[in-house]
Chains A and B, each alone.
Chain A
């Protein structure tokens, strides 16, 4: 009877994939990870895999946090182009004001300030989008420049130094052999799972799927939409903290390159641009796939213009795949 059991598992997997649409991102995740490790020369030496995992995830964590936020906004039917700039502001504030370990309470207050800024920036995005009835692309594109300008105002040229004690803790701490960056990621996915299985999750997917229907059914659509931008801002501020701990210094353009990957990762991960579908786990898979591709390219020593080109092709492929499939069906 093993055959029957197999079939059962296969059917279950299929049902799971149909519900969460993470089959393709998961396959891409496995393929890109295997490819990445196979390109390493000394992969079977003890500690190599652990070292590489740590160095990957501590580098990716900022973008992956942004990807989670972006996925929430996209599922709710919006778009956040300002999350990168929120990272820049947070990074600059931390680099300027967290310079010694002598005053932990002061440092904690600065961290709280950064998180507060993320929440406030997200709230502003949400309010402008929902109450002015403007396209989220326009609103968050505009606010991204406001936040980027603020970062530049605070720190015109790169500088600042975050104490080694803090950065070392982020870069090299393991619990049970798992790097802290990966633990943080898993914790946030679990927290999200807690909310997804409650009313909040139901409402979010309903609002993204058809806001008018959700409204007439009694879902607080306005508040739901604003909340996704607030969460995106919050996760961006955490992205700023982890990025600052990674680099140890401040740069007013630090988050500029994170916005696009946050969208691409979510889309590769099965989150739809039109809202109402996809999952945060898928988005994380998508973000990791994107990270692996970058690593593979850098190992292959391709020119930097080719890196941009390949990234663009990945985005195009991720966005166009459903359309292409429909077109092929039609031609038949």
Chain B
């Protein structure tokens, strides 16, 4: 058994070592030198921008993908897991970012899939499955709604609860190595705390843990060591106790600059007219929502996850019926279908790019122009013009791609999200709805994205921006609407827009928040 000593860590058995893993998808080199080591009882943070190869490396370790080159040692044995089944048998599990749940099955069935407790006669033991599931759910006690129970169908659950089920599925198999691939991306802070307690317990039980996350504070809270990937290469390795955020971010982005709040970039709104007035809007997920936005304003929507933020955006885009009144640029509107909203120059950028934002099997060009083809029919399709426009938009967004014709699946998460944004920007929208667009997007891309939003507001575009990342709202938005349980709990701006107020309002505390009534109904 090989052991090794590092400052601040005891000698533990080496669990996994990957050596120079390489992987290519078509023309894109996803991984050039993926080299990590993780020991028993250690939490290794795997960090890097989107497209740096973290997920690819995780999938190679768990046997979902085959590497083109390189070696994996597992407890000092060279291994090659030809499929996830083999990896699981050896005790390697992953919690995936693109969830590996079957929506039509129940929570219990999903957690115990391919690991079902059986009676002596070989039947599924539903009773013990139910009990064991309840036991697992207790790990996240009080952080989810009553609708999450062993017999609930997974398709009816919100994203955070699905993620919890996914985590419990991995934990239930009692593996020796667990990879958490962006497992916290859709969890709120209470749920993250529960997850961290689970991870601490696993650590005590001498499990090896790999933790992939974009949230720096989480890495510093839970990890012992960090390995940084950049453009498919392992570029750095640091003990958390002896490093700081800046040093890691520097390794991640290389030379790129990091965005900082720039109040000078905020648009002066004293002269602008009203863009949107929402009065007493109600539906299944919204309760008596009223607010107004000025033209060129960038308004954030915050709060805990699943409090009606997405529903508000979907409602404004004509995707969900409602009662109440909505005025857009002083005109009463009643969108029945997204195409009505598009007709009024409203654009919606979804957060779930795989299902709501992109046609995964089509080319980058086709995805870019999906809402825009009509523009190029004169009467025959002017493909050259379309290509030129797409190329220009791609350059504007700093899109890294092979060619416009390659499939969208060749792009990394951050680059794919750029296409989702770009396709709507090509329409020059006057009102932009953003549904948590930076979820799982790296620091560099985020900075570019913030700059873009500021440019848009300067040119008069009004933006309503939901984000599950509080820090992002504080950094970017001059004003934030905080939602709880389908209604707007607080309207924060100027000196009231502080982290304490934002968190207090999300949790439903009243005293700390101050609304400016005059402003709300401007």
Beta-carbon contact of A330 and B123 below 8 Å: no
Determine if A205 is an interface residue (Cβ-Cβ < 8 Å): yes
Task: Enumerate B105-125 residues with CB–CB distance to A below 8 Å.
Answer: 105, 109, 113-116, 118, 122-124
A contact residues, total (Cβ < 8 Å): 24
Fill in one digit per residue for B390-411: 1 if any A CB lies within 8 Å of its CB, else 0. Answer: 0000000000000000000000
Beta-carbon contact of A206 and B116 below 8 Å: no
Q: How far is the CA of A209 from the CA of B115 in the complex (A)?
A: 17
Beta-carbon contact of B123 and A218 below 8 Å: no
Determine if A203 is an interface residue (Cβ-Cβ < 8 Å): yes
Q: How far is the CA of A199 from the CA of B117 in the complex (A)?
A: 10
Residues on B with C-beta less than 8 A from A216 are 62, 64, 84, 94, 96, 100
Beta-carbon nearest neighbor of B101 in chain A:
A213
Beta-carbon nearest neighbor of B102 in chain A:
A209
Beta-carbon contact of A206 and B124 below 8 Å: no
Beta-carbon contact of B104 and A276 below 8 Å: yes
Given contacts A216-B84, A217-B169, contact A206 B122 (CB under 8 A): no
Determine if B85 is an interface residue (Cβ-Cβ < 8 Å): yes
Residues on A with C-beta less than 8 A from B105 are 205-206, 209, 276
Q: How far is the CA of A218 from the CA of B173 in the complex (A)?
A: 11
Beta-carbon contact of B85 and A220 below 8 Å: yes
Fill in one digit per residue for A99-140: 1 if any B CB lies within 8 Å of its CB, else 0. Answer: 000000000000000000000000000000000000000000
Determine if A214 is an interface residue (Cβ-Cβ < 8 Å): yes
Beta-carbon nearest neighbor of B88 in chain A:
A218
Beta-carbon contact of A214 and B96 below 8 Å: no
Determine if B103 is an interface residue (Cβ-Cβ < 8 Å): yes
Residues on A with C-beta less than 8 A from B64 are 215-216
Residues on A with C-beta less than 8 A from B123 are 197-198
Residues on A with C-beta less than 8 A from B113 are 202-203, 206, 214, 217-219
Beta-carbon contact of A217 and B118 below 8 Å: no
Q: How far is the CA of A229 from the CA of B104 in the complex (A)?
A: 22
Determine if A210 is an interface residue (Cβ-Cβ < 8 Å): yes
Determine if B321 is an interface residue (Cβ-Cβ < 8 Å): yes
Beta-carbon contact of A206 and B100 below 8 Å: no
Q: How far is the CA of A253 from the CA of B336 in the complex (A)?
A: 51
Beta-carbon contact of B114 and A210 below 8 Å: no
**In whole Å, how far is B228's beta carbon from the nearest beta carbon of chain A?**
26
Beta-carbon contact of B100 and A330 below 8 Å: no
Provide a sorted-by-A list of 23 A–B residue pairs whose CB atoms are within 8 angstroms.
A197-B123, A198-B123, A201-B124, A202-B116, A205-B105, A206-B109, A206-B113, A208-B104, A209-B103, A209-B104, A209-B105, A210-B102, A210-B103, A212-B100, A213-B101, A214-B114, A215-B64, A215-B83, A215-B84, A217-B100, A218-B84, A219-B85, A219-B114
Closest 4 CB pairs of A and B: A209-B104, A209-B102, A216-B100, A218-B85
